[in-house]
Each structure stands twice: as structure tokens, then as C-alpha cells.
Chain A
């Protein structure tokens, strides 16, 4: 009854095309963002910030980037981890090699470098598609894994191969306490989330989706496949690159190339598949599912065990965690192959009509 748009009349196309046309959606989003900025820092402890919230925010940003490419433009990629690494190492090099480079500029330059590489490694998409493209993008992953491990220039000739960043200074604001890192990541994610949403509802987003759904027809109505695909690779890699730089700078602090291995690429791809291909909110759901659920299970299982009078050993918990996690993935993919976002959309549609079935 509450979620209903009756009486919300649009009198101009501008009003109908605003980012959240339904007033309840608008208020909900404002409320969530306000709570995330004000409420969460008051409630969460340091462990929450470090282990759950910061990884969730950064990986959401990366998943958002992957979703723009895979979900909206239909180009499968298994190289997302490499583009995170490019973002991280490029930002690192800009920061240490250019005097007085501001943190934000380094992050964005890292993203731009990643975007440029995205265009180069996106070129195979002009000829191959589907699984073959996935394999072609894997080349990016292997190449950059190798490059960051072997080419010492990238790591500033560090003997151990790991690099570290300290004293994050964001226009005079020293981002070092976990709560501050959280706020910084949250701010970035909100900005990038809105950018992604705008892109997907504008002309460029429609071009991406047209290429995804029917590329021959898209070409016939005047969309250039090369421009559409490569712009998707560039924008996606930019998002992923910025996320990678933040992962290195803000979350890890010091890192090795292994932080951005092919596992990370798979993880990001799974996030968008489980969360919902072609859905902004789905990227957040997917990231939450993959990041938060294992930790939640880990904490929750012993509690559940005590309730029924069984004490579960730590080893058993970690096994059970993997089993349940796997089972849940299978469950959600069977119930709704289009991801959590589709479940969300369906329930919203039902809610609009509730209590009537039609």
C-alpha cells in the first residue's frame, strides 16, 4: 500500500526522465545514503569497517564497472582483476613519481590509464564474442599479472615486489582511521553510482544495450559497433581501475600483484551474475552477497549451534561456510537466473499492486 505511484502525475518529459521517477524510490535512496553517511559510522566498529564495509564498497564499485561491460554491453570479460591492478599500479606510480600529486588525481589517473588499456584489450571484441571473448580478455589478466611481477619499474624497484602507500591525504583530510576510509569509499561509490546510472539511461547506455541485444539491428539504425563496444570497455575499465586503486591504497595499504589475480576477475564476474546483469542495484547486491555472506555465515553458525546446544569447531564452521555459500549460489541461480536484482524488481512490482494480485 505504501509503495504506490498513484497520484504522482508527470507534467513534463523532464520529470518523467528523472533518475528515480517514483517518489518513494527517491526518498528511499536519500534515506539509505544519509544512513550510510551518518548512521553507519556511529554504529559500526573497527572490525566491521575493515573486514566488511570497506571491501564491500570498493568491490561494489568494481562490480559496477564490470556490470557496465558485461551486463549492459554484453561483452564478457575475465580481465577485470587485471584492470584493477592497472588502476592500482598506475595510481601508485603517479603518486610517487609526480611531486605533489593529489590523492584524488592519482586515483582518477589510475582509472584513466586502466581505461586506455581497456580500449586496447577490448579490440578483440570487434571480432569475437561470447566465450571466445572471455578467453581473449583472459590474455589481459595473464599479461598484466606477469608485467607487475617481473617489470620492476612498475613497483618502483621494490625488492620484495610489494608496494605500499601511506598518508592518504584527501585535500587536507587525512584518511587513515577506518571510519574515515569508509566515508571516503562511500563518497566515491555514491558519485560513481550516479554516473553509472546516468550513463545507462542516456544515449550511450542505449547504444550498449542495443549492441548487447541485437547487434545487426543496432548497426542498421546507425550505431557504430566499434564505438559502442570500445566506449563500454573504456568506461568499465575506468570504474574498475579506480576501484583497483582504492583497493590498493585504502583497503590494503600495501599489496602484491597476487592481490589482483584471476581469482579477483572471477569473483567480480560472479558478483554481477548473481547480483543481476544489466542492473545498477544488482552490482551492489552481488557485492554484498559475495563479500558479506561468508562473513555473516562465519559469525552466525556458531551462534546457531549454541542455540540448539551443539558446539561447532572453527574448522567445521569454515567448511560449512563454503558449503552453504555454494548451495545459496545454486539456489539463487535456479530461483532467478537473472539475479538478485530481478527478484528485487519482481517484488517491487508485486508491492505496487498489493494486496491485489493483478
Chain B
């Protein structure tokens, strides 16, 4: 792969997050470069999901600074993060169960749809054209993810692997600059994992989207990520290329226990 990794787009400095007395994240700093696949790994409860929630504004860290495209972000909320081009998928699929696959992915385009409520009510002119234009974009995503056959199926009826794919589709519909993936391969079989890896690499390759992912499958992480951050008990214990991280004694200790 000859992709070009660019400058730092997201820079997290000394992030600390507490819930009452529980320290979820302590003094964590790392950066994400443009077009790279950045993995966050760590044992259960290490604070990986909290980290993603800090990045897209669901949680507000007590200390630390976040720079996005060189600008410090203050008082972030999820809606603003979305408007700036950060989208994400969820560990426990958070699709809109009562809606079809098509509608779920269309929802991802909400921020790009501007027509007002009255025009939508009469389905006329700009509102109708907008709906059709966005439908076209969504169909491209549906083609990309190879889910044409289920586009009108309510997502509640789909098997788990496909739901994960729709979740990715909805995040892609926002045309994000940074895509946060929270365990995209959890609970999948080998073939589904291979498919998902292919989609992630294709997204990264074709659209140039920067990807931050959390994953437990070490094989996957080592294969597809450019750089890896390792967290344990809310602290950063490793950061670097996959091979460096794999051979770091601290990481081995966290994963395998002190005896090894």
C-alpha cells in the first residue's frame, strides 16, 4: 500500500477523565495523522471506549486539550463533532431498529440536508430534489458495502454481521474526515471479519478517511493498523508501530500478566 500519511489532524494532550472517584483516563496523550489507521487496544476496562467518547464529545474530560486540525476544541458536543466531520460506529450496535437499512443510512446524511420543514411536508421542489440527490449518495454506499439486497429490510431483522455493516454505512454516509470504529469486528466469524477488514481498508484507501479503531483481535490490529496505542487501567502503556508495540515488555505484561 502506497498511501501517503499526512500531518497530525487530531492531537490529544494530557486527557484525564473521571467519573466521581473513578479515574477512567489518566493523562493520556497521543495523536492521529491524516489518512492513517490508528488502533487503540487494551484489556477490558482500559478506557478505550471512553477515549472515543472523549473524541466525539459524548464525554467531557476534566483535564487536557484536544486539537482538531490545529484548533483547540472547547465544550464539544456530539452534534458539533459530527458537523466537523467526526463520525463513529458503536460497540453494541446502535442502529435505529424500527427503520429500514436505507433509512438508517439516509439518517447519516441529516447534517447535509437543508430543506425546511414546510417543503418537506409537501414533498416539493428543493426538498424532493434533495431527497433524491442524497438517495444517490446513499446508494453508492450501499453498493460499496454490498448490501443492495437488504436495503428495504428493517434493520431489526438482520443478522448481527450485516447490522455491523449497516452501522458502518451510516457512519460513512456522513462523509467523515475521521471515522471512529468501536470494536467493528466483535462477535464476528472469520469470514465476516475478513469482509469488515476489507471494507475498513477500502474506506481508508479510496476515500482517504482517517480511521481510529478499537479492536480486541490482535491479528486484525497488527495487520491493518499503521500505529497502535495501548491503554491499561486508563493509562497509556505503549504507542508506536504494531511491531514495536508487540515486543514492548509493558504491553506483554498487561496482556499476559506479570509472570511472563
Contact = CB atoms under 8 A, between A and B. Distances in A.
Interface of A: 12-14, 16-17, 19, 195, 198-199, 202-204, 206-207, 209-210, 212-214, 216-224, 231, 235, 278
B99 A203 contact: no
Given A202-B131, A203-B113, A203-B131, A217 B121 contact: no
Interface stretch (B11-19, B88-96, B212-220): B88-96
B98 A212 contact: yes
B97 A218 contact: no
Contact of A202 (B58, B78, B120): B120
A198 B97 contact: no
Contact of B123 (A202, A219, A224): A202
Contacts of B210: none
A13 B81 CA distance: 31
A207 B107 CA distance: 7
Contacts of A198: 120-123
Given A204-B120, A235-B117, A221 B174 contact: yes
A235 B116 CA distance: 13
**Most chain-A Cβ atoms within 10 A of its Cβ — which of B94, B95, B110, B170?**
B110
Nearest to A21: B152
A217 B123 contact: no
B120 A17 contact: no
B194 interface: no
Contacts of B121: 195, 198-199, 202
A235 B117 CA distance: 10
Nearest to A278: B98
Contacts of B98: 209, 212-213, 278
A198 B123 CA distance: 6
Interface in B116-170: 117, 120-123, 127-128, 130-132, 135-136, 139, 170
A221 B122 contact: no
Nearest to B112: A222
Interface residues of B, number: 42
A311 to B, nearest CB: 50
A217 B97 CA distance: 12
B56 A220 contact: yes
A204 B117 contact: yes
B230 interface: no
Interface in B41-58: 56, 58
B241 to A, nearest CB: 30
B79 interface: yes
A209 B110 contact: no
B128 A14 contact: yes
Contacts of B103: 206, 209
Contact of B94 (A12, A206, A216, A222): A216
Given A203-B115, A213-B99, A214-B96, A221 B110 contact: yes
Nearest to B170: A221
Contact of B107 (A13, A195, A210, A216): A210
A127 B209 CA distance: 35
9 contacts: A17-B135, A203-B110, A206-B106, A213-B96, A214-B96, A219-B58, A221-B82, A222-B82, A222-B174
B110 A223 contact: yes
Contacts of B109: 203
A247 B89 CA distance: 47
